[in-house]
Structure 1
Amino acid sequence: MEDCESIANEGDQTPNAAFDVRRAARAGEAAPTPLVFASPHSGRDYPDDMGSALDPRNLRLSEDAFVDDLIEAAPAMGVAVIAARLGRAYIDMNREAFELDPAMFADELPAHAKPRTARVAAGLGSIAKVVAEGKEIYARKLMFAEARDRIESAHQPYHAALEQLLEEARAAHGFAVLIDWHSMPAAAARGATRERPCDMVLGDRFGAACSNLVTSLIERELEAMGYRLARNAPYAGGYTTEHYGRPAQGVHALQIEINRGLYLDEKALKPTAGFAKLKSRLETLTQTLVATDWAELAP
């Protein structure tokens, strides 16, 4: 894959300002691996039309900060990557598009909205009500047109692009493997196991979204590096994992949550000295995934 880095660096990216796509092959060429990486919550752009009551620092509390940087070497190894540019507090790519809280809006939501989900109840629909620590984002009622514009300009194009990457991988290899990368607050990691805080949580919807071959391999590789892992608790996988994970149809989706304590100063929102070590180890994991014969995953 010696030429992949130059291809990625040439800027083979979507023109949509909401997200970036970096392919490991030029347009028209077959995907070199069945792997697709996604980072839906690492975006740190907040358009002026958001009209938030919070300052920029507080808006960023919900970000999976710098996760896109942790996986930036993947295209050079043959892995397609899609990463949000818009902040999660503006539009959450890891939600169903119309998961909306009617209490946030001055006008009525359309009939196809989904107001009664656990994520909406928690204030974390596609248009979030709160950021981390429960801080409310808006001191006003929104209009549905605002939500519709964000969905049509960002959320829907993001998922159209992700679907295309998965289809390209499946067309070339007979199947696709999607890794949806996230990070979790250190406080959440402490609640994942009674023995000591876990370093990462693998979410495969309790086996429904991804073959155990994938989950177990990643688990073994990360544990061999010294990381403590949990499966499906407290995170079993979000909308992306649930929506795309269809092993019987040749698409396997796994969510990986990384303890922010490994690489991030959560108060300052700056990488710590542990960032370089973690990034290097994730690159080693990616190399292993690329070198693995996944033929058994084909439906």
Structure 2
Amino acid sequence: MSEPQIDAAPIVFASPHSGNHYPEEMVSALCVPLMDVRRTEDAFVDELFSNAPHHGGTLLAARFGRSVVDLNRDPHELDPAMFHDGPPRACALPTPRVEAGLGCLPRVGARGEAIYSRLLYKAEGERRLSGIHDVYHGQLSGLLDAQRTRHGRALLVDCHSMPSVQPGRRNLTDIVLGDRFGSSSDARLVNRLERVFRNHGLTVARNAPYAGGYTTRRYGRPKRGIHAIQIEINRGLYMDEQAITRAGGFSALRPIMDAVIVEMIAAIRELTER
């Protein structure tokens, strides 16, 4: 976590999928190259928002890769068939994501292929859930609650990236903003965010194909003073998706994200003053 370096604003920029650390226990169980697993990461998103603390925002970035544990999933969104001796926690009703192998503990990689050479053990799963997922959301909820208590309101900007090419989807926009169809944030905040991107020449869609995941749903409670917006950035804007390296557009995108940071800090401060 990177704390504000100037007057702190009631805002957290979170990057739950930009981590690239994989424990040896997991790597030894893979049946695919680690690079195949790494292509599920939202690589470099934490770097795009790294100036948030310089402007008064808090930046919370994951350390572990998305395939280790998906921080944007409910911890009970588990596939019991993945485990040798039963799941580590009670499983929620199966969802399309779990059935596709994309639960809180994913079993498939970026191309939909199985990534493990064996079943996992309950203890392995619990180590990931308690040591990573619980810790991350404990920090995030604590930050937002403290900011709301101090300022009356708080804003979570959940920062993600999306593949530039997706089956069945043509002409994917540059940016997708998710606010759970208006339920997770004051519309004025989302409008200002969209305006910044459009003013910089980027195309923007709302809630399609991404309306916001577990994090936006869990924390976005405008009536209780916490607003949550999800940002999805087209990876084709800034990176080589196969090699997982920064592309030429990375340096051009960073000042745009700085403008986003500044605008959203101003927006939530103005909202708290009303």
TM-score of the two chains, using structure 2 as the length reference: 0.94
Any conservation in 2 of the 1:36–1:177 contact (CA below 8 Å)?
Answer: yes
Find out whether 1:123 has 2:123 as its counterpart. no
Match of 2:53 in 1: 75
Any conservation in 1 of the 2:192–2:263 contact (CA below 8 Å)?
Answer: no
Match of 2:116 in 1: 138
Within the candidate set 11, 15, 18, 1:39 is matched to: 15
Q: CA deviation at 1:290?
A: 2.0
Match of 1:283 in 2: 258
- In 1, Cα distance between the equivalents of 2:100 and 2:183? 24
Match of 1:100 in 2: 78
Segments of structure 1 that go 5 or more residues without pairing to the other structure are: 1-20
RCO higher in 1 or 2 (8 Å CA, sep ≥ 6)?
2
Match of 2:146 in 1: 168
Q: CA deviation at 1:109?
A: 2.9
- RMSD (Å), alpha carbons: 2.0
Residues 59-79 of structure 1 deviation map (CA, whole Å, 9 limit, x = unaligned): 101000110111111011110
- In 1, Cα distance between the equivalents of 2:221 and 2:37? 34
Identify which range, 266-275 or 164-173, moves more after superposition: 164-173
Any conservation in 2 of the 1:101–1:115 contact (CA below 8 Å)?
Answer: no
Residues 226-272 of structure 1 deviation map (CA, whole Å, 9 limit, x = unaligned): 01000000001010001111111001001000000000101111010
Find out whether 1:209 has 2:179 as its counterpart. no
Letter in 1 for 2:105: I
Letter in 2 for 1:185: P
Residues 84-104 of structure 1 deviation map (CA, whole Å, 9 limit, x = unaligned): 010001111111112110111
Residues 90-127 of structure 1 deviation map (CA, whole Å, 9 limit, x = unaligned): 11111111211011112223672225123212211111
Segments of structure 2 that go 5 or more residues without pairing to the other structure are: none
Letter in 1 for 2:99: A
- In 2, Cα distance between the equivalents of 1:247 and 1:140? 44
- In 2, Cα distance between the equivalents of 1:189 and 1:281? 28
> What SS is found at the alignment partner of 2:50?
coil
- In 2, Cα distance between the equivalents of 1:190 and 1:274? 25
Any conservation in 1 of the 2:173–2:203 contact (CA below 8 Å)?
Answer: yes
Residues 133-192 of structure 1 deviation map (CA, whole Å, 9 limit, x = unaligned): 11211121111111111111111010000011112221221111000000000013982x
Q: CA deviation at 1:293?
A: 5.7
Q: CA deviation at 1:25?
A: 5.5
Match of 1:269 in 2: 244
Within the candidate set 150, 154, 176, 2:132 is matched to: 154
Residues 213-236 of structure 1 deviation map (CA, whole Å, 9 limit, x = unaligned): 111110111111101000000001
Cα separation, partners in 2 of 1:71 and 1:83, compared to 1, 3 Å? same
- In 1, Cα distance between the equivalents of 2:128 and 2:15? 18
Report the identity percentage: 44
> What SS is found at the alignment partner of 2:165?
helix
Match of 2:227 in 1: 252
TM-score of the two chains, using structure 1 as the length reference: 0.86
Any conservation in 2 of the 1:189–1:199 contact (CA below 8 Å)?
Answer: no
Letter in 2 for 1:204: D
Any conservation in 1 of the 2:88–2:125 contact (CA below 8 Å)?
Answer: no
